[in-house]
């Protein structure tokens, strides 16, 4: 039977922190062996990854430890960003297969096939693949390769801490890497229940791309694309495009029947403006005839969407939960510390939930259970695995 426990510590002393977090994580498991442990550590922690990993293996009694450095961690109703903190999840009673694909730069497209080759009988709908890539990798290519090689398994995860803040590290077993893809496959009895919550609300109706050149959108519905963007921005933002780019984003539908339903579209930054050509650019290759909508990044909308996503996943008998969150959410966005951890704890009570704030997120878009694996931004991805 699946059992899991979580622990959290903000003690800056690494050994004490690991002992406290591991002790809490092991308590619900009792005397069962640990099949997998997840360890997430903030860049603010003064201890080296090696000392923390060694302490974790010792405290948990296993080398089957997988994890990464993270912008922030979440566990046991706590969130911590920036300051020294550690989150641990210990899992028993499940076939768990850790993996490490080192030196993945330039080979991102092959990672999914390598993971799939290690699964006896191939990927199954009941498999939950946890992926923690280095942020220097071409994550879009990585995710596309996983989508092709790992379906019908479900894939969730997040990128390591942003390289501008600290050197990102990934670990698996006794190995500590950079430039790697680490993670684990949890081979459950039933498919995981997964929800995606987004930090935006639609700020326009769907618009059709009528002229495009590479990443540059030149026309929407036959009108200059930048004019349409300014109309969506409104007010002072319309005249301050650099500031507007932080709030007015682009939604790319992935669910034809309900294109603007929460969890059914991708959100992408605007990465460039051309006032001369009345155009803007997005990091997504679009074609003439594709549809987009403008999205407003807004805390109130994000809070409502989070509550709706959580409500849609309640029920069942979850044995554990994993939450992969965007580093642009959290206290800086909501204006309240620990908001998402509090919502999760209120909704799921004693279910052990742990996770991290990452540089990107990976999860399904288009359906609660079997959406298409996508590279996500400004999202929270919650995966529940039933006992």
- Indicate whether 205 and 66 sit together in one domain: no
Lowest mean pLDDT among 39-53, 119-133, 176-190, 331-345: 39-53
DSSP result, 139-207: HHHHHHHHHHHHTTSEEEEE--S-TTTS---EEETTEEESS-EEEEEEE-SSPPEEEEEESEEE-S--E
pLDDT of residue 161: 84
Mean pLDDT of all residues in 4-27: 95
At 17, the pLDDT band (50, 70, 90 cuts) reads very high
**Same domain flag for 181 and 326:** yes
109, 244: one domain: no
Q: Which two tokens stand for residue 85?
A: 């903190």
Q: Are residues 224 and 330 in the same domain?
A: no
Q: Please tell me whether residues 114 and 186 are part of one structural domain.
A: yes
Structural domains counted in the chain: 2
DSSP, collapsed to helix, strand or coil, labels residue 57 as: helix
Quick check: helix, strand or coil at residue 81?
A: strand
Q: Residue 303 corresponds to which tokens in the numbers above?
A: 């809070």
Assign 19 a pLDDT band (cuts: 50, 70, 90). Answer: very high
> 324-351 as b/e, with b when 16 or more CB fall inside 10 Å?
bbbbbbbbebbeeebbbbebbbebbeeb
Q: Single out the residue in 243, 274, 297 at which a domain terminates.
A: 297
Contact (Cβ atoms closer than 8 angstroms) between residue 160 and residue 170: yes
pLDDT for residue 80: 95
Same domain, 139 and 13: yes
* Beta-sheet pairing, 36-41 with 65-69: parallel
- What's the domain range around 238? 201-297
* CA neighbours closer than 13 Å in the CB half-sphere of residue 357: 27
Q: Which residues neighbour 75 within 8 Å (Cβ) at sequence distance 6 or greater?
A: 6, 7, 8, 21, 40, 87, 88, 89, 353, 354, 355
Question: b/e map of 261-287 (b: 16 or more CB within 10 Å)?
Answer: ebbbbbbbebeebeeeebbbbbebebe
pLDDT at residue 165 in the model: 58
List the Cα angle 316/322/326 in 5-degree steps.
Answer: 130
Same domain for 222 and 187?
no
If you average pLDDT over every residue of the chain, what do you get? 93
Last residue of a domain, one of 297, 319, 343: 297
Q: Are residues 207 and 177 in the same domain?
A: no
Q: Which of 262, 282, 297 is at the close of a domain?
A: 297
Q: Are 186 and 96 in contact (CB under 8 A)?
A: yes
Span 349-369, pLDDT tens digits: 999 999 999 999 999 986 544
pLDDT digits 0-9 by tens, 208-243: 999 999 999 999 999 999 999 999 998 888 889 999
- pLDDT number for residue 264: 85
Q: What is the largest CA-CA distance in the chain?
A: 68
- The pLDDT of residue 201 is above 50: yes
pLDDT in tens, 238-264: 889 999 999 999 999 988 888 888 888
Residues 133 and 266 in one domain: no
Angle formed at CA 301 by CA 343 and CA 291, multiple of 5 degrees? 125
CB distance 89 to 164 below 8 Å: no
Q: Which residue has the tokens 């690991």?
A: 18
Classify 13 in phi/psi space as left (phi over 0), alpha (psi -120 to 50) or beta: beta
361 vs 30, residue with greater confidence: 361
The answer to whether residues 206 and 166 belong to one domain is: no
Give tens-digit pLDDT for 266-303: 999 999 999 999 999 999 999 999 999 999 999 999 99
Residues 353 and 319: their CA atoms lie apart, in Å, by: 9
Residues 93 and 156 in one domain: yes
- Picking from 195, 208, 357, 378, the residue whose alpha carbon sits closest to that of residue 295 is 378
Asked if residue 39 lies in contact with residue 86, where contact means CB atoms within 8 angstroms, the answer is yes
- Beta-strand pair 318-326/353-358: parallel
pLDDT in tens, 72-131: 999 999 999 988 999 999 999 999 999 999 999 999 999 999 999 999 999 999 999 999
44 and 162, same domain (yes or no): yes
């Amino acid at each position: 039977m699946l059992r899991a426990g979580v622990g959290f510590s903000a003690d800056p002393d690494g050994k004490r922190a690991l002992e406290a977090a591991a002790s809490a994580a092991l308590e619900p498991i009792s005397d069962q062996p640990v099949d997998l442990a997840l360890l997430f550590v903030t860049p603010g922690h003064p201890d080296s990854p090696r000392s923390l990993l060694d302490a974790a293996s010792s405290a948990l009694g296993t080398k089957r430890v997988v994890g990464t450095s993270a912008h922030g961690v979440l566990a046991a109703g706590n969130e911590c960003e920036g300051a020294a903190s550690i989150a641990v999840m210990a899992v028993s009673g499940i076939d768990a297969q850790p993996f490490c694909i080192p030196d993945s730069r330039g080979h991102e497209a092959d990672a999914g096939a390598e993971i799939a080759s290690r699964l006896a009988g191939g990927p199954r709908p009941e498999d939950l693949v946890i992926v923690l890539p280095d942020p220097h990798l071409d994550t879009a290519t990585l995710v596309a390769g996983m989508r092709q090689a790992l379906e019908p398994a479900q894939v969730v995860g997040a990128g390591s801490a942003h390289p501008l803040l600290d050197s990102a590290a990934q670990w698996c077993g006794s190995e500590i890497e950079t430039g790697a893809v680490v993670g684990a496959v949890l081979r459950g009895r039933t498919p995981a229940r997964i929800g995606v919550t987004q930090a935006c609300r639609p700020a326009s109706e769907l618009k059709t791309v009528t002229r495009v050149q590479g990443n540059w959108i030149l026309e929407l519905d036959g009108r200059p694309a930048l004019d349409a963007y300014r109309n969506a921005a409104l007010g002072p933002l319309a005249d301050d495009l650099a500031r507007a780019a932080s709030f007015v984003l682009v939604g790319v539908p992935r669910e034809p029947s309900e294109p603007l339903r929460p969890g059914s579209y991708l959100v992408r930054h605007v990465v460039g403006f051309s006032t001369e050509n009345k155009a803007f650019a997005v990091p997504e290759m679009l074609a003439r005839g594709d549809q987009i909508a403008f999205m407003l990044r807004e805390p109130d909308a994000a809070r409502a969407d989070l509550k709706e996503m959580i409500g849609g996943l309640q029920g069942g008998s979850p044995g554990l939960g994993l939450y992969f969150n965007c580093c642009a959410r959290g206290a800086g966005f909501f204006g309240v510390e620990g908001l998402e951890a509090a919502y999760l704890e209120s909704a799921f009570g004693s279910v052990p939930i742990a996770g991290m704030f990452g540089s990107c997120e990976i999860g399904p878009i288009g359906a609660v259970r079997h959406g298409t694996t996508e590279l996500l931004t400004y999202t929270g991805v919650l995966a529940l695995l039933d006992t």
